[in-house]
Amino acid sequence: MFLLFTPSSKSCCFEHRAFRPLFHYARALFLLGLVSVLFSTEAFATHYRYGSISWVPGTGNNITFTVRQAWRHTAFSNPAVGTTVSTGTFFYGDGGSVSIQLLVTSVNAGEDWFFGEFVVTRNYATTGTYTAYSNDCCRISTLQNNADGNFRAETRVNVGTANSSPVILSPVILNMQTGQNPAGYQITASDPNGDNLVFRLATTSEFSGSHPAGLSISSSGLLSFNTVGKLAGELYSTAIVVEDLD
């Protein structure tokens, strides 16, 4: 998620990714700037804006994943809504992988990004817990933290259970007011099973980055950031995990 400060509104925006780690929970990544990945792929350099992963179980050991991403629009020759763009690789966590073919569902030409979804089903050979993920490079160069860094989105998949992951659907850009200590934003998520959700900041290994100083989140999802001294137009990156622990 991007956190961007604008002079007219004295706000900042987050670009974010949602991903899941342990058990039945999804993680949402909020980047006050840009996100990066583990692999440096020149074609995608500094173009990543947002990412999330959620999943639902099917029959047997089938798991259907939904990968949501946002990328720099002009970097991919301005794809239109309804077109498909190849944006990297999704790893199932069992040694298999698939090319992400993102179906473009919306475009914001003014902010130079497009958003899309990729849905794929994996039939795992055995039950168990797997970490499915995508990673690549890079976050944008103008971030105040994690500039040009790698990004990672992951989810912990419990094959053989009836539980589904939580889902976070947040704007690609989130605005927060400058000059506040703290500025706040309520992160929301839903759980298909109606389970209780707990929020926390992601670890460095979970999103391949570090959080800006003065940023925190409550267990109920209230994101707080000390924006005193922050300038309009500044970008920061961070990552948030929402866990289904029931």
Strand-pairing partners, residue 70, are: 50, 115
pLDDT of residue 141: 81
**Residue 33 reports pLDDT greater than 60:** no
Tens of pLDDT, residue by residue over 63-86, are 999 999 999 899 899 999 999 999
| Pairing assessment for the beta strands 2-4 and 173-174 based on DSSP bridges | parallel
In whole angstroms, give the CA distance from residue 118 to residue 85: 10
Confirm whether pTM is higher than 0.85. Answer: no
Q: What is the pLDDT of residue 176?
A: 82
Higher-pLDDT residue of 163, 8: 163
At 25, the pLDDT band (50, 70, 90 cuts) reads: very low
143 against 95, higher pLDDT: 95
Residue range 146-195, pLDDT digits in tens: 788 788 889 999 999 999 999 987 777 777 888 999 999 999 999 999 99
Has residue 1 got a pLDDT over 70?
Answer: no
Instruction: Say what the pLDDT of residue 52 is.
Output: 87
Buried b (16+ CB within 10 A) or exposed e, 9-32: ebbbbbbbbbbbbebbbbbbbbbb
Decide if pLDDT at 87 tops 50: yes
Residue 226 is predicted with a pLDDT of 92
Mean pLDDT of 200-205: 89
What integer pLDDT is reported at residue 48 of this predicted model? 83
Confidence category of residue 7, pLDDT binned at 50, 70, 90: very low
Give the least confident one: 22-26, 87-91, 109-113: 22-26
Structure letter (DSSP) for residue 36: B
Tell which wins on pLDDT, 215 or 17.
215
Q: What is the pLDDT of residue 46?
A: 57
Instruction: Indicate the burial class of 205 (C-beta count within 10 angstroms; 0-12, 13-18, 19 or more).
Output: exposed
